[in-house]
């Protein structure tokens, strides 16, 4: 669970550095959300778990390895995963999302954890406080308000957000989760302390923070 939650939040950070790949309108919308992310604190939380949690370290080291690159290529080539990418591309800016995802993986591999952690964070390191630290670090009310505003404006973000809330997206994700072609790479991720089910649960939880559409 530790790595799954951390990597979900690190995705928020790393995707910010990939915005130059998407359209100007969508990039502007995402930049507004990025401004709400407490990146420094989240970096400290990730660093704390890297220090104290051997499974977290195993997962981070795996993400930075050639073995992960090979595993990711298997995921990327699976037809059910391609269907998800096509769905997001069609309902986003029209940009080929696979390029953005590949860039994101490269950023994760290069992500540098802080070498210093505030004392008060070093002392709190159990799973419950970790989850509270990470999830409560995000300003949920402000994120909801910004999502609602962007949806009302009916721009590219609104189109993408509605696609993410649509049942079709969840069905595509579930189909990929139990795909025969993805069984081996997902098992490899699990062996390296990366729990895909927890990642998906967190993904849909964050999506649910926004307004009903």
- Express each pLDDT in 157-178 by its tens digit: 899 899 999 999 999 999 999 9
Q: What is the pTM of this model?
A: 0.74
CB atoms closer than 10 angstroms to residue 141? 9
**Are 175 and 44 in contact, with CB atoms under 8 Å apart?**
no
Q: Which residues contact 128 (CB under 8 A, 6 or more apart)?
A: none
Distance CA 202, CA 212 (A): 18
pLDDT of residue 11: 52
Residue with tokens 């407490």: 38
Share of the chain above pLDDT 70, in %: 71
**Are 163 and 210 in contact, with CB atoms under 8 Å apart?**
no
Domain residue ranges in the chain: 2-206
74: Cα within 13 Å, side-chain hemisphere:
17
pLDDT of residue 51: 74
pLDDT of residue 58: 80
pLDDT of residue 121: 46
Tens of pLDDT, residues 50-102: 777 777 778 778 888 889 889 989 998 999 999 998 898 888 766 666 776 67
* Best-predicted range by mean pLDDT (10-19, 25-34, 127-136): 25-34
pLDDT of residue 115: 54
Q: Which two tokens stand for residue 114?
A: 């802080």
In DSSP notation, 59-83 reads HHHHHTSHHHHHHHHHHHH-HHHHH
């Amino acid at each position: 669970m530790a790595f799954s939650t951390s990597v979900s939040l690190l995705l928020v950070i790393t995707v910010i550095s990939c915005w130059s790949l998407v359209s100007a309108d969508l990039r502007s919308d995402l930049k507004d959300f990025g401004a709400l992310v407490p990146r420094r604190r989240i970096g400290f939380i990730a660093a704390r778990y890297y220090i104290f949690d051997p499974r977290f370290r195993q997962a981070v080291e795996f993400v930075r390895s050639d073995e992960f690159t090979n595993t990711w290529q298997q995921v990327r080539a699976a037809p059910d995963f391609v269907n998800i990418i096509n769905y997001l591309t069609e309902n986003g800016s029209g940009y080929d999302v696979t390029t953005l995802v590949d860039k994101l993986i490269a950023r994760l591999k290069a992500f540098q954890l802080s070498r210093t952690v505030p004392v008060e964070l070093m002392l709190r390191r159990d799973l419950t406080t970790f989850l509270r630290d990470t999830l409560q670090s995000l300003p949920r009310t402000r994120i909801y308000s910004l999502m609602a505003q962007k949806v009302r404006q009916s721009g590219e973000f609104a189109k993408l957000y509605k696609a993410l809330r649509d049942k079709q997206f969840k069905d595509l994700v579930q189909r990929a989760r139990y795909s025969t072609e993805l069984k081996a790479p997902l098992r490899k991720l699990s062996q390296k302390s990366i729990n895909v089910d927890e990642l998906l649960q967190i993904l849909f939880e964050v999506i649910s923070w926004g307004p009903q559409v």
